[in-house]
Structures are given as structure tokens and as C-alpha cells.
Amino acid sequence: MSTPSKNLPLFPECCSLSAHDPFFYECLAREAGHNLIAGVDEAGRGPLAGPVVAAAVIVPKGIELAGVQDSKKMPEKAREVAFALIHHKAMSLGIGVVSHKYIDEYNILRGSLEAMRRAVLALEPPPGFLLVDGIHGVPVPIPQKCLIKGDQISRSISAASVIAKVYRDRIMRSYHELYPVYDFAKHKGYGTRNHFKALRQYGPCPVHRMSFKGVLGN
């Protein structure tokens, strides 16, 4: 696995303008000489079942993607609308999916980073710079900047969060058809009261993360 580039000190850690301009960090990256900038985010670190999914999105300069924000703050119907809009407007998007088996073998952090790596490598054309949600860089040799709560302050990362969330939710709804007793369509694999109740009654199914606390009653 490639070693990620160091988190570049291109950006001020505090700037009032960032709260008002959803493309503030993208603009700073362009001013620093980077053209194709991808936002990167993942969905599904916390659930007890299913994959972790990451997305990388390159938003062309001048495209606003109005209404797109942190996917966790958007209703499901709004996310579906935004998903279609991003597909239509993005210059490029990539999706990376890492299975529950990979997560069990290596741990969820490595699974999340691997999903992001796959998403970035799926971009065509390839990006010249990454804006990454969180504190861990993507393990690719591309200049990048990690942003805490990046899905709230960067429109490119917000777009990636929507793509990852909707794509993963669709996977979990398909798992619901195979294993309806767990109600994956409703909670998407998260540890709700009803999910734990189903685990106690039926035990785990083939898509549960066996290493996660609560799946096997540990």
C-alpha cells in the first residue's frame, strides 16, 4: 500500500470565510496551483453489518451543487435528489467498497482508508489534490489536506458524503431482501435496539461484522 503524502500546510487552520463559502478550500487549492480537486469521504464506519463505502468527487469550477451538504444533515429524499444531481454535474466520481470480511480481518480504520483509496483511484481524470474528511490521509501519492468536519465545510467533500451514503444505503436495502429479519432497510446496519434484539434472537447473518462489539454478544 502506498504511503500517503503529508498533510500539506496550504490552508489556515481558522478562517471566517470558510463558514460562508462552501468552496473556500477548493479555491485555496487552486490558488496553490492544483487544478483537479477531489473531495473524499466515507459512509458506514459505525454499523454492525455491511460494507464501508467511500466516494471521491471532482466538482468542476463554477458548479455550485446547491442544496448539497453533509449527508447526515439531509433527509433521505433530499439525498437521493442530490445523488442524481452530483452524478449529472460532477466532472468525475469514484466509489470504493470494502466488505465486512475485509473489516473483520484488518479493522474498520484500515477498511475505511482502503475504500477511500479505491474511490480515488477510480477517478478519471485523476485528481491533482484531495480534500479528505477527518484526520487520516488517503494512502495514495497525491497531495492532500485533511479537514475535520470536512463534510460540513467543503462542498466537494459534502458531495462525496452524499454519494457514499446513498450508495451504501442501497446496498443495505438489497441485504434487507436477503435477510429481512434484521430490518437492514430501516437502520442500515447500525446498532439500534431492534437490531440488537434480532441479533439475540437469530444470531448474526453472513454480512455482519463479527469483530464488532455486540454482534456475537460480546
Q: Mind listing the domains of the chain with CATH numbers?
A: 20-169 (3.30.420.10)
Q: What is the pLDDT along the chain (218 residues), one digit of tens a residue?
A: 444 444 555 555 444 444 579 999 999 999 999 999 999 999 999 999 999 999 999 999 999 999 999 999 999 999 999 999 999 999 999 999 999 999 999 999 999 999 999 999 999 999 999 999 999 999 999 999 999 999 999 999 999 999 999 999 999 999 999 999 999 999 999 999 999 999 999 999 999 999 999 999 75
Contact call for residues 174 and 189 (beta carbons, < 8 A): no
147 vs 59: CA distance, rounded Å: 17
Q: What size, in residues, is the chain?
A: 218
pLDDT of residue 15: 44
By C-alpha distance, which of 109, 215, 213, 118 is closest to 164? 118
Residue ranges with strand state E in the chain: 37-43, 52-58, 92-98, 129-133, 144-147
Contact call for residues 140 and 122 (beta carbons, < 8 A): no
Contact call for residues 122 and 115 (beta carbons, < 8 A): no
By C-alpha distance, which of 94, 155, 154 is closest to 123? 94
Alpha helices in 2-133 (DSSP H): 24-31, 76-89, 100-106, 108-121
C-alpha cell at 137: 490521509
pTM (predicted TM-score): 0.91
43 vs 169: CA distance, rounded Å: 9
Contact call for residues 26 and 37 (beta carbons, < 8 A): yes
Residues 6+ away with beta carbon under 8 Å from 4: 137, 138, 139, 140, 141, 144
pLDDT of residue 217: 75
